[in-house]
Chain A
Amino acid sequence: MSQVIARAATEGVPDVRTERGERAVFCGLTSIIWLHRRIQDAFFLVVGSRTCAHLLQSAAGVMIFAEPRFATAILGERDLAGMADCHEELDRVVGELLARRPDIRRLFLVGSCPSEVIKLDLANAAARLQNVHNNRLRISAFSGSGIETTFTQGEDQCLASMVPDLPELESGSQRLMVVGTLADIVEEQFRRHFAQLGIEAVDFFPAARADNLPPVGPGTRLLLAQPYVSDTVAALCKRGAKLIPSLYPLGVQGTLAWFQAAAAEWGMDADSVSQALAIPVARAQKALFRVREHLKDKSIHFLPDSQLELPLARFLRDECDMSLLEVATPYLDQMLMAPELSALGAGVQLVEGSDLDSALARVRASRPDLTVCGMGIANPLEAEGLRTKWSIELIFTPVQGFDQVADLAGLFARPLARERQLEVGSWS
């Protein structure tokens, strides 16, 4: 950490270039794919079009779950022409749904592009439905529309919609809230590490059960597990919580800095944290060492997609010795990314937004050893002889924390290892 701060002080932050043009990202509805696995008694009802339903089943790896806890209320011409009252229709559909799934404890009404454009007020609908089903479950609304959210931002909107329901933290106490979905196994590891640091008052948001809502108040300290939770952080801060600025828990350095930042709030200095976590740190470094040789001196280009691009780039450069050709991200939250920007320092090509064809032209010109991109683009680049890593896998894999560092590096090393191993014709 101290090393990172030193560089930031001397070298500044990257220049950011903003691009506008064609974008190739999922919309926020995609977040439902992991959120509905994380919050095990929640149901996500998208109010949208056939496109929304089709996106969800295509992005979900096509129907991995026979009866999922998400569905789409498809708007028809009658709804749009005002022949049917959308709110009455929604009440009917929610009634049908709840009759089918008595096990559901929280229902999210999820806004889409069409529902936003026709200005269907889902927050109002959620409040009305809450009155009808008050004793049964909580109902709230958020937008996962493509006109407002990209990919992981759907989770941000979902969490922000739950913030008003969080109970008040009793005054005088201090609790840590880890914000952003983590794999169960990572949550368990993190709980053990916090215990090793003597921090017992830890909540994870979202939790596996919808009823298990963490309290929030002036004693709440926010530690972000994911970098895309801007609106949630704003909503929590309005309720008195304070953000602990930190690198994100990707890589050994990122994870250690993350625990150090949290521990500082509990009066623990950085060296004590390093000592307390010496065993997992050493284990992670040892595991990473073997993978790093495959990545060393290789070049990488990030196309904008998951919003994890900055911390991943920092990890791959600082801990795997890769060289960064370009790091693009769908949008840049200067506040939540400040520590990562400092860590990256000046001299990194950082792009906010997207102009797909010109970005692809740069990839073709520089021919990076590895390109991180969305699923729609990966095979076409592979067919041009360029190795890729599709970024949705980074969201669907436990990659945070010490014991996942080598797995994370392995995700990037595998396409390169495969290229070395295969003896079947050429890629292009």
Chain B
Amino acid sequence: MELTLWTYEGPPHVGAIRIAASMRDVHLVLHAPQGDTYADLLFTMIEREGRRPPVTWTTFQARDLGSSTAEMVIETLQGVCERYHPKVLLVAESCTGELLQDQPGALARGAGLSAPIIPIEMAAYTRKENWGASETLYQLVRGLLAGKARATSEDSSATTEKRRPSVNLIGPTKLGFRCRDDVTEVCRLLERMGVGVNVVAPLGASPHDLLRIPEADANVNLAPEVADLTCDWLRRQFKQPIIQTVPLGWGATRDFIAEVAQVLDLDINPDVVGESRLPWYSRSVDSTYLTGKRVFVFADGTHALAAARMARDEMGFEVVGLGTYSRERARDVRALASEYGLEALITDDYLAVERAVTELQPELVLGTQMERHIAKRLGIPCAVISTPAHVQDYPARYSPQMGFEGCNVIFDTWVHPLIMGLEEHLLTMFRDDFEFNDAAVPSHLGGEGAGAQQPDNVEAIPTVAPGAVAWAVSAEKELRKIPFFVRGKARRNTEHFALEQGLSVIDVETLYEAKAHFSR
């Protein structure tokens, strides 16, 4: 039993719905009690979908238990076939359905239905949403393609001399982070390399499209959390190589281009494929103030890894914390964290993340909807880089994260919550200015990201054992002159310094001794 306030991922059957909702001509029947249907609103409200996800629920109630729940499964399946005529019918259970042990997959197979059935075991009590999405995509692709031989690529290459190379994009789904725009951006990128996109799956694909997957030369693994399993199977089954680099960030996009070129044996200069404004924006003098800003990164594995690299190498930040809730990516995140001299935070406990942010007092948090909340509470600027996300993270405008345009979008998104260069300097110089002080929000943000408008949480959080050191009134006053976005760090450093020196009282001198001690 695990105490949970907020959860980063939904249950696995929500992952299954994401796959079904991403596709055409697929229907999912879920053996689940009434109430589990709330999942519809994730799609229709958060992502503003204009259609209901193609899911039908048995919605059993207490009175059905022990007698008729199995019949309900069969009636529901038959109704779905009559009403929707799906090309493929997925059958799964939610957590409560699993406890009934009705085995809806077996029931479906024995029911003589008109549609092909693919049952999916959800393991609701051990697994989570991304696993459910991954498993569903894998079972669907395998169910349709197992037994198929490698496409007749040799024949076709014989007939058409210069066959255009093509890849599949595997992994983008509904309720993923910016998948809609990332697919467009990556397709454009590949187009400029002369590479065709054969199938995008599952987003927008039909079962018929999935049957064409083996025709491509390689698979681009765009969302490893969802597509690893499927890409691996396709590699084994059809000898399709996997393009592993996710083009998130300027360097990663160039690595992606290089990997595509290498896998497809193309001679391509990344400079002519496209360019981003990020390198110049980052090098221009205004961005100097970004240097060494302390950034905390927490996201799904893919976005955390990409954001850390961008933050350090492309924005000039200092990454002071790095973590993920994707346990399946823990190894990669740990490896990158140790390269950055950090210990990775691998957890799905929101409270552990909150403790880490509180302790580190970063100047910018790059996280999920959950970290937005943590940051808001602590008065720290924040940008959302990953799911779980809320309705405002599914914007109307074109705003990919991937490719060169994605770099532009990310530069703007990360810089926007921060106080701009000269403004920051003036705040530091004239802290007690009655109009222009650090209790005011950044001048370009009306009411949002209100750092020091929050009650000064920093002061309330003891960073060393209470009573171990005391602050002299003069030192406390001096501390208040330090801008709020570094005050927490200054307080913490000074207290640690005082403890190390065996001091029981911190005066103004101690404050500056500590500053000198910790200065870079």
Other 6 A-B pairs with CB < 8 A, given A74-B3, A80-B125, A375-B45: A23-B59, A47-B1, A113-B36, A147-B61, A376-B37, A376-B40
Q: At the interface, yes or no: B46 with Cβ under 8 Å from chain A?
A: yes
Q: Which of A79-135 contact B (CB under 8 A)?
A: 79-80, 84, 86, 89-90, 92-93, 96-97, 113-114, 116-118
Instruction: Report Cα–Cα, A59/B45, bound state, in Å.
Output: 11
Q: Are A114 and B11 in contact (CB-based, < 8 A)? A: no
Give CA–CA (A22, B77) in the complex, Å: 12
Q: Which of B5, B11, B391 contacts A54 (CB 8 A)?
A: B11
With both beta carbons as reference points, the residue of chain B lying nearest to A78 in the complex is identified as: B1
A189 within 8 A of B: no
The smallest C-beta distance from A55 to any residue of chain B, in angstroms, reads: 5
Are A51 and B36 neighbours in the complex by a CB distance under 8 Å? yes
Q: Does B160 contact A (CB under 8 A)?
A: no
Supposing A24-B40, A58-B41, A146-B35 touch, asked if A383 and B50 sit within 8 A by C-beta, the answer is yes
State the CA gap A90–B125 with chains docked (Å): 17
Bound CA–CA A196/B61 (angstroms) = 46
Q: Are the C-beta atoms of B44 and A76 separated by less than 8 Å? A: no
Residue numbers in B under 8 Å from A86 (CB-CB)? 1
Instruction: Say yes or no: is A382 at the interface (Cβ < 8 Å to chain B).
Output: yes
Chain A residues near B13 (CB, 8 Å)? 51
User: Across the interface, do B5 and A26 meet the contact criterion of CB distance under 8 Å?
Assistant: no
Minimal beta-carbon separation of A387 from chain B (angstroms): 14
Chain A residues with CB under 8 Å of B50's CB are 379-380, 382-383
Whether a CB of chain A sits under 8 angstroms from the CB of B34 is: yes
B3-33 contacts to A, CB under 8 A, are: 3-7, 9-11, 13-14, 33
Which residues of A have CB within 8 Å of B369?
Answer: 62-63
Say whether, besides A62-B46, A66-B376, A114-B99, A145 and B33 are in contact (CB < 8 Å): yes
CB-CB nearest in chain B for A84 = B1
Min CB distance, A20 to chain B, in Å? Answer: 10
**Given the complex, which residues of A lie within 8 Å of B57, measured CB to CB?**
22-23
Q: Does A307 reach chain B (CB closer than 8 Å)?
A: no
Complex interface: chain A residues within 8 A of B95 (CB):
49-51, 113-114
Could you tell me the distance in whole angstroms from the C-beta of A241 to the nearest C-beta in chain B? 27
> Which residues of A44-60 have CB atoms within 8 Å of chain B's CB atoms?
47, 49-51, 53-55, 57-59
Establish whether residues B125 and A76, one from each chain, have CB atoms under 8 Å apart when the complex forms.
yes
CB distance from B10 to the nearest CB of A (A): 4
Decide if A375 touches B5 in the complex (CB within 8 Å). Answer: no
Contacts of A67 in B (CB 8 A): 5
Q: Which 8 A-B pairs have the closest CB atoms?
A: A27-B35, A146-B35, A376-B40, A383-B50, A89-B1, A113-B96, A49-B95, A146-B33
Q: Is the interface of A mostly helix, strand, loop or mixed?
A: helix
Q: In the complex, how many angstroms separate the beta carbon of B489 from the nearest chain A beta carbon?
A: 22
Residue A77 CB within 8 A of the other chain:
yes
Contact of A117 among B1, B45, B99, B377 (CB under 8 A): B99
Contact B76 A90 (CB under 8 A): no
Once A50-B124, A84-B1, A147-B61 are accepted as A-B contacts, the answer to whether A379 and B45 lie under 8 Å apart by CB is yes
B128 contacts the other chain (CB 8 A): yes
Q: Which residues in A have some Cβ–Cβ distance to B below 8 Å?
A: 22-30, 47, 49-51, 53-55, 57-59, 62-63, 66-68, 71-77, 79-80, 84, 86, 89-90, 92-93, 96-97, 113-114, 116-118, 145-148, 150, 357, 374-380, 382-383
Check B11 against A51 for contact (C-beta < 8 Å).
yes
Q: Are B56 and A114 within 8 A (Cβ)? A: no
Contact in complex: B62, A116 (CB < 8 Å): yes
Most chain-A Cβ atoms within 10 A of its Cβ — which of B76, B125, B370? B125
User: Is B1's CB under 8 angstroms from A79's CB?
Assistant: yes
Q: Tell me which of B5, B43, B58 has the highest count of chain A C-beta atoms within 10 A of its own C-beta.
A: B5
Report yes or no: A357 in contact with B79, Cβ–Cβ below 8 A. yes
In the complex the two chains form, what is the Cα distance from A113 to B35 in whole Å? 9
Q: Output the least CB separation between B78 and chain A (Å).
A: 12
Contact A22/B56 with A66-B377, A114-B96 known, Cβ cut-off 8 Å: yes
**CA separation between A86 and B2, bound complex, in Å?**
11
- A302 → B minimal CB distance (Å): 18
The answer, yes or no, to whether B425 is at the interface (CB within 8 Å) is no
Q: Mark B197-221, 1 if CB is under 8 A from A, else 0.
A: 0000000000000000000000000
Residues on A with C-beta less than 8 A from B48 are 379
Q: Residues of A contacting B391 with CB < 8 Å?
A: 62
- B residues 45-81 touching A (CB-CB < 8 Å): 45-46, 48-52, 56-62, 65, 76, 79
| Whole-angstrom distance between the Cβ of B302 and the nearest chain A Cβ | 21
Q: Tell yes or no: B374 within 8 A of A by CB.
A: yes
> For the complex, what is the distance from the CA of A147 to the CA of B1, rounded to whole Å?
22
A84 to B125, CA, bound (A): 14
Within 8 Å by CB of B52, from A30, A53, A66, A377, lies A377
Most buried by B among A23, A57, A59, A113: A113
Contacts of A375 in B (CB 8 A): 40-41, 44-45
16 A-B residue pairs with CB within 8 Å: A24-B37, A26-B37, A27-B33, A27-B36, A47-B1, A50-B128, A63-B370, A71-B5, A73-B3, A73-B4, A76-B125, A114-B99, A146-B96, A376-B37, A376-B38, A379-B48
